[in-house]
Each structure stands twice: as C-alpha cells, then as structure tokens.
C-alpha cells in the first residue's frame, strides 16, 4: 500500500467526530484496508480492543446458543469466619479447631493480607477445579 498520511489523518479525524465516511478515492480505500489489517492483527493481541470485541462477540454467541447464565457466585477475598483463612493468618503450625472471638478474627486476618490472598487463591482454584471441571495449574 501507498498510504498518504494526510488522507489517513483526515479519515481518522472524520471518524473520531462520528461522521459516516465512505471511501471516495483509491487513497481512502488503501487507508481503510490498512485499518482493517491492523484490526485483524489486533484480534490476536491479548487485551487489545479488537481482542475484547472478539470475546464480547463470543460471549453473545454463547448466550444466544446456550442461554444466559442463571446463577452468580460471589467470593469473599478475606473471610474471617472461615477456618482455613484463619489458619493461614495465624502463626501456629498445627491447626486447632478453637473458634476465636469476632474482634480477634478480624484483627488476625487484617494484619496478614497475604493470608487473605492465599485463601482467595485457594477458593478460586477449588471453584474452577470442582465446579467448572477445569484443572488449572497451581
């Protein structure tokens, strides 16, 4: 392609302003082909706008084919009531099923954010493995 920067800038400005632009000249057609090629390449780049557009289209296709999801799950990243989270947050090596009072549990988990992160990671990993049936690498 022989892309003219002035024509490309003019097209970009008109498209940015929301105009409906039709390629009237071979130079504009070449610019549109360049945009199309860049868009195609962007579909393979993780996190790009085109990649996100493709994922949205895939989600809508799945919803159209399978139906909308009918359940939602909320996970708590630092659950001060869960014994595993409390075990991760505590400095004891041996687990004892002693239930601490609420203030002490919150203090224990809040002083150790890594324990909350480890607990969240464990819960998400187990959810993916046991509910979704996918075995992620640990």
Convert the pLDDT of each residue in 52-84 to its tens digit.
Answer: 999 999 999 999 999 888 877 777 666 777 788
Question: For the chain, what percent of residues have pLDDT higher than 70?
Answer: 95
Grade residue 46 by pLDDT with cuts at 50, 70 and 90.
confident
Convert the pLDDT of each residue in 96-106 to its tens digit.
Answer: 777 778 888 88
pLDDT at position 1 is 64
The answer to whether the beta carbons of residues 69 and 58 sit under 8 Å apart is no
Whether the predicted pLDDT of 120 surpasses 80: yes
pTM of the complete model beyond 0.85: no
pLDDT at position 60 is 93
3-state secondary structure the chain: CCCCHHHHHHHHHHHHCCCCCCCCCHHHHHHHHHHHHHHHHHCCCCCCHHHHHHHHHHHHHHHHHHCCCCCCCCCCCCCCCCHHHHHHHCCCCCCCCCCCCHHHHHHHHHCCHHHHHHHHHHHHHHHHHHHCCCCCCC
Tokens of 70: 């009918």
């Amino acid at each position: 392609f022989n892309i003219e920067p002035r024509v490309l800038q003019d097209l970009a400005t008109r498209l940015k302003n929301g105009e409906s632009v039709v390629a009237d000249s071979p130079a504009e057609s070449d610019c549109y082909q360049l945009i199309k090629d860049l868009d195609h390449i962007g579909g393979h780049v993780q996190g790009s706008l085109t990649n996100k557009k493709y994922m949205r289209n895939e989600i809508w296709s799945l919803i159209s084919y399978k139906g909308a999801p009918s359940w939602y799950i909320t996970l708590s990243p630092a659950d001060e009531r869960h014994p595993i989270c409390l075990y991760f947050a505590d400095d004891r090596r041996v687990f004892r099923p002693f239930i601490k009072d609420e203030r002490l549990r919150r203090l224990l988990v809040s002083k150790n954010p890594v324990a909350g992160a480890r607990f969240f990671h464990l819960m998400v990993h187990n959810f993916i493995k046991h509910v979704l049936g996918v075995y992620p690498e640990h």
